[in-house]
Amino acid sequence: MTIPLVQLKTWSGQGAKITSRDTYATVKATLEDGKAKYTSRNFKVFLQGSYGNDTNIYAESDVDVVIRYDGAFFHDIKQRPPDEQTAFETAYPINGMYYYDDFKEHVRQALASAFGKSVNPGSKAITIEADGNRRKADVIVAFEYRRYYKFKGRYDESHVTGMCFYLSDGTRVANYPDLHSENLTTKHQATNGNFKPMIRIFKNLRSKLIDDGLISKGSAPSYYIEGLLYNVPDDQFVGDYQDIFLKILNWLYATKDRTKFVCANEQYYVLQDNTHTCWGCADGANFINAAINFWNNWQ
């Protein structure tokens, strides 16, 4: 017996909108307050994650907010040939005087002045705990990040723009939320509006698998589920939710080599081991297999 269509329709629904919207507005206003001690006002505040991409489910309560400083940038020019590295160093002998740690501390102070003891710095983000109608919010403090494909000079170069931040252990993590969001929307439109509901269905399935002890908590982050389904061809998203769900499972099962699956930002692979930007291969395979078994054994 397969998962009933009515259950899949329930799982396809989007989570809380109003309280998430209001939480974001409150946090954004705090970060943009003119009294904040930022050395420079050259920054941008925006959403990322499930709520920002309309893929949130009711079980997900966090609002993910980014404040990105754009007055300087980090980069990966070391991946380019020596002559291009030299050209870059000539073009940018000094890249800003506002340090990441200082910016992060100024952000923490701004949040603490508004939310008090609800503010807790973590390894990745500064967390603002839920209070009343305000949902929990995670604020990532970031700098602009550029991934160069060519650099001959300031006016003869190509790059993609993302963001980067540092974990508490000093590890730098770079990501591309704008590209991620744009590509999710493009695929959603190309699949006649079926892509994002299917993401929500698979996220709710993930919650059920965790509750039933079939996968471990934290082993299937939402970001990677979005990336996994991003690789499923558009022509598989045709029919009702039962049809599409089964097509996706069959396609994933038939695709034995998943190492070339790309994240929705198309800058990283989805399934790779030993990196902060990818899903561990074993965890990804366990999620796919558990989803298939759950479909086949629905009671």
Identify whether 8 is part of a domain.
no
C-alpha 142, offset from chain centre: 14
pLDDT(20) > 90: no
pLDDT band at 276 (very low <50, low <70, confident <90, very high): confident
- Give the pLDDT of residue 18: 84
Count structural domains, the chain. 2
* Same domain as 167, residue 50: yes
Assign 54 to helix, strand or coil. Answer: coil
C-alpha 81, offset from chain centre: 30
* Same domain as 99, residue 185: no
Identify whether 10 is part of a domain.
no
- Give the pLDDT of residue 274: 85
Identify whether 6 is part of a domain.
no
Structural domain span for residue 146 = 18-175
Identify whether 154 is part of a domain.
yes
* Helical residues (DSSP H) of 134-221, grouped into ranges: 177-190, 195-211
Q: Considering the chain, what percentage of its residues have pLDDT values greater than 70?
A: 99
Mean local confidence (pLDDT), 57-69: 89
Mean local confidence (pLDDT), 81-108: 91
d(CA 292, CA 299): 14
Mean local confidence (pLDDT), 149-153: 94
Q: Considering 153, 175, 197, which residue would you say is the last residue of a domain?
A: 175
Q: Considering 156, 175, 194, which residue would you say is the last residue of a domain?
A: 175
* Same domain as 261, residue 149: no
Any idea what the Cα angle at residue 297 is, between residues 293 and 299, rounded to 5°? Answer: 145
Identify whether 12 is part of a domain.
no
Identify whether 41 is part of a domain.
yes
Phi and psi at residue 129, to the nearest 5°: -70, 150
* Same domain as 116, residue 74: yes
* Same domain as 112, residue 34: yes
* Same domain as 167, residue 24: yes
Contacts of 117 (CB under 8 A, 6+ apart): none
